[in-house]
Amino acid sequence: MITAIYPGSFDPVTNGHLDIIKRSAKTFDKVIVAIAQNPNKTPMFTIEERMDFLKRVINGLPNVEVDHFDGLLVDYVKEKDAHVIIKGLRAISDFEYEFQMALMNRKLDSDIETLFMMTSYKYSFLSSSMMKEVGKLGGCIAELVPDAILPDVLKRLKSV
């Protein structure tokens, strides 16, 4: 039984994330989508809101769970008896930072493998931060955010 951990900020989950979640769920026995509590970032949505959004969008995927963690990702992976980290790669621009993190995680724990999944072409330009910027400025984000959370995301974007 192979459990994969898909970590991230998910502030909020986008259709790009959902694409990676669905494809990971077909590839691994179990996928845990793990929201990192990053003290260096000021998120737009609380951990509880991001958990709620993720739970709504993974509805119907029986082998996917949602969780959150603080501290090191490798410690969380071990705590879950897993050894695979899934990361989505959008463009070459993601590569350097992701490569650095993968190597650091391997240095911290050589039993843990980071596997990269190429994003689907149609989401290759999409990030939560760009989506929020476009939404705040009144652009259309309907195809970028899962339908199940779109009204809540729009409501928050309008209030900031």
Residues binding ligand PNS (CB under 6 A)? 7-9, 36, 38, 72-73, 101, 104-105
52 or 109: CB nearest ligand PNS: 109
88 or 135: CB nearest ligand PNS: 88
Helix residue ranges, H only, 28-125: 47-57, 73-79, 92-108
The residues assigned a catalytic role are 17, 41, 90, 128
Q: Least distance in Å: CB of 37 to ligand PNS?
A: 8
Q: Least distance in Å: CB of 94 to ligand PNS?
A: 9
| DSSP H or E run through 152 | helix 150-159
| DSSP 8-class letter at 119 | P
9 or 15: CB nearest ligand PNS: 9
Q: Least distance in Å: CB of 137 to ligand PNS?
A: 22
Q: Least distance in Å: CB of 40 to ligand PNS?
A: 9
95 or 151: CB nearest ligand PNS: 95
Adjacency order of strands within the sheet including 84-89 = 64-69, 30-36, 3-8, 84-89, 113-118
- Residue 139 contacts residue 129 (beta carbons within 8 Å): no
In order, the DSSP letters of 42-62 are: --SS-HHHHHHHHHHHTTT-T
